[in-house]
Amino acid sequence: MRVPIAIVGRIILCSLLGASSVWAQSRQASQADKNTMADLLSRVTKVKGVRLASTSALQPPSDEFCRVNLAVPCYSPQEIRNAYGLTPLLQAGFTGAGQTIIIIDSFGTPTIAQDLKTFDASNGLPDPPSFTVLAPLGSVPFDPTDPVQVGWAFETTLDVEWAHVMAPGAAIVLLTSPVAETEGVQGLPQFLALEKYALNHKLGKIISQSWGATENTLFDSAGQQVIHDFEDFYQDAAHEDVTVLAGAGDNGTSNVDVNNNPYAFPTVLFPASSPWVTAVGGTSLYADTSGKYLFEIVWNDLDGEAGGGGVSQQFPEPFYQYSLPGSVQKTLDNFRGVPDVAYNADPLTPILIYLSFLGPDNAGFYFIGGTSEGAPQWAGIAAVANQLAGHPLGFLNPTLYVIGERFNFFHDITFGSNASNGLPGYLATRAWDLSTGWGTPDLGSLINEMAHK
């Protein structure tokens, strides 16, 4: 079973207490109910011994509480904004106003509208100007005992809530598919149909994709047709000034085939590997409890989870990578390198989401991580940049590479590797590399340069 690239294995302690509730409060549910839910979540997240805590409080725990009591930070929206330099732009009125972010997911979640409201209220955020859920291909009833649907519900919640964090003035349209995307072509034609629907109906200028299939699962004739169809669409989207983003994956250089068996050599994910998509890799962010940026390293928990990145076996090197240095060119060997940029993704430097689709006894705030954290937040950044520019920026990669080569407007990640599951990975280096791309956004300078290119 495969679930979305940022959720599976990224929910690290489950539902949290508010600081005033502490761990000792008991839930109303029986011990059998607790065991059933823990088992469900362990199957969704690939994490054993997942614990549920009391969910009586609607306020998220503070970062200070998490560090003292849980030995991890739990970055708030305000801290993430501060760490990546977005706060002054928001204070100046650049909130993504007038923009619309399109989010594509399987199944969705029946509680997303109310969960977003609760998340916003608990974090002092305004509601988005509009939030629309569309299912033009139909939908299926939500089954809270189905780990596949639950995994996608976590994904949907993350995508919606944290795209909104970065662009609180932007509208959001969530498009859901009734088919799970797994490996190979499964679910991809439906996602493409949704993205074409968004383009044809002019729903928005930014598309966030927090999912992917190993490129090699698409090397048969059916897979090649799917890639061809997506590539035609992505070029159409670029011509319509639509920005498309994707997470680079959560398993470093190790990904699986259609039978969930790992390949014996490094691989990358599609659509992150598409030359027309901005691929977002993963880091571990270290900031203080005010959100002051300290440093970042490549996300790698040394247990198989790491930021995706590497060399495509499908796509030739795009023109915007031609000017990368000779040492990089030797590794690329005329093929596309992934990722383009990066973002915090480590489940041990996590953010929080609020959800209630598991029922009232399990509603609350959950730790989460993965490169799906980066794709929707970069979508929010694109919305702010569009507003600042006064027009949609569209395909970002040529601009990002020019900025990366000429200016020091990224947090350059220079420590760590995305090696995983015994396979070699790629070391972080100065400037662009195959584990974090150009690095993470230093928006005080970067977003102005993006808007005025």
Closest CA to 259 of 222, 217, 227, 220: 217
Strand, helix or coil at 301? coil
Question: Residue 404: which H helix or E strand, with range?
Answer: helix 397-406
The CA distances from residue 235 to 111, 201, 276, 341, 394, in Å, are 34, 17, 7, 20, 11
From the list 79, 120, 155, 442, the catalytic residue is 155
Q: How far apart (Å, rounded) are the C-alpha atoms in residues 231 and 244? A: 12
User: Can you say how many angstroms the Cα of residue 77 is from the centroid of all Cα atoms in its chain?
Assistant: 15
C-beta neighbour count of 145 within 10 angstroms: 10
148, two tokens: 């596949």
Residue 333 annotated among the catalytic residues of the structure: no
Question: Residue 380: which H helix or E strand, with range?
Answer: helix 374-389
The CA distances from residue 327 to 225, 330, 397, in Å, are 33, 5, 21
The CA distances from residue 354 to 99, 204, 381, in Å, are 24, 25, 21
The CA distances from residue 375 to 143, 153, 249, 365, 378, in Å, are 26, 16, 10, 21, 5
Residue 373 annotated among the catalytic residues of the structure: no
Longest dimension (CA), the chain: 62
From the list 106, 372, 417, 435, the catalytic residue is 372
């093929």: which residue's tokens?
335
From the list 159, 183, 317, 373, the catalytic residue is 159
User: Can you say how many angstroms the Cα of residue 67 is from the centroid of all Cα atoms in its chain?
Assistant: 23
In our burial notation (b when 16+ CB lie closer than 10 A, e otherwise), range 353-370 reads bbbbbbeebbbbbbbbbb
Residue 159 annotated among the catalytic residues of the structure: yes
Closest CA to 443 of 382, 370, 369, 376: 382
Could you give the angle at the alpha carbon of 364 between the alpha carbons of 248 and 179, nearest 5°? Answer: 45
Residues annotated as part of the active site: 155, 159, 372
